């Protein structure tokens, strides 16, 4: 349980209008290889929207998942995309990438925060 709370605490540090990756959150909590575990706990986030799990994306700058969904054509993923735009996250529409699930929504590098911006007291 403490590990999950640490992940949520780290996620709360992501400022509005910015995103970070599952991998960066794993690094912040001191478990650099636990990015899948970070994703799993955010999938079950009981503290949304206070813990803004929608601000966490995949390392390839695609949207990743949202409430367990990864297909960009599904309403939940469209909601994640809309939430990020509403908060001021910028997308790079010049990059023509196709990701695993067929989306080409790529978050602009200027909207991504790194581990040094997300300091969490480790217990």
Q: SS3 sequence, 103-116?
A: CCCCECHHHECCHH
Mean of pLDDT values over 26-52: 90
Q: Residue range 50-76: average pLDDT?
A: 86
pLDDT in tens, 72-118: 778 888 888 889 999 999 988 665 554 444 455 678 888 888 887 77
**Is 11 a residue of the active site?**
no
Q: What's the pTM value of the predicted model, to 2 decimals?
A: 0.83
The CA distance from 100 to 123, in Å, is: 36
Helix (H) or strand (E) holding 21: strand 20-21
pLDDT in tens, 5-19: 788 888 999 999 999
Phi, psi of 57 (to 5 degrees): -125, 175
User: pLDDT at position 2, please?
Assistant: 53
Counting every residue, how long is the chain? 123
pLDDT at 104: 56
Q: 20 has which bridge partners? A: 56
Helix (H) or strand (E) holding 57: strand 56-57
Write down the catalytic residue from 53, 57, 58, 118. Answer: 53
**44 has pLDDT over 90:** no
């Amino acid at each position: 349980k403490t590990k999950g709370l640490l992940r949520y605490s780290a996620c709360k540090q992501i400022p509005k209008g910015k995103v970070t990756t599952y991998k960066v959150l794993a690094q912040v909590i001191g478990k650099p290889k636990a990015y899948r575990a970070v994703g799993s706990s955010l999938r079950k986030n009981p503290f949304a929207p206070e813990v803004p799990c929608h601000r966490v994306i995949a390392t390839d700058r695609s949207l990743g998942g949202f409430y367990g969904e990864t297909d960009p054509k599904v309403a939940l993923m469209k909601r994640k995309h809309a939430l990020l735009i509403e908060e001021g996250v910028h997308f790079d529409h010049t990059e023509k990438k196709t990701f695993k699930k067929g989306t080409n929504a790529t978050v602009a590098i200027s909207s991504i925060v790194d581990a040094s911006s997300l300091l969490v007291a480790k217990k």
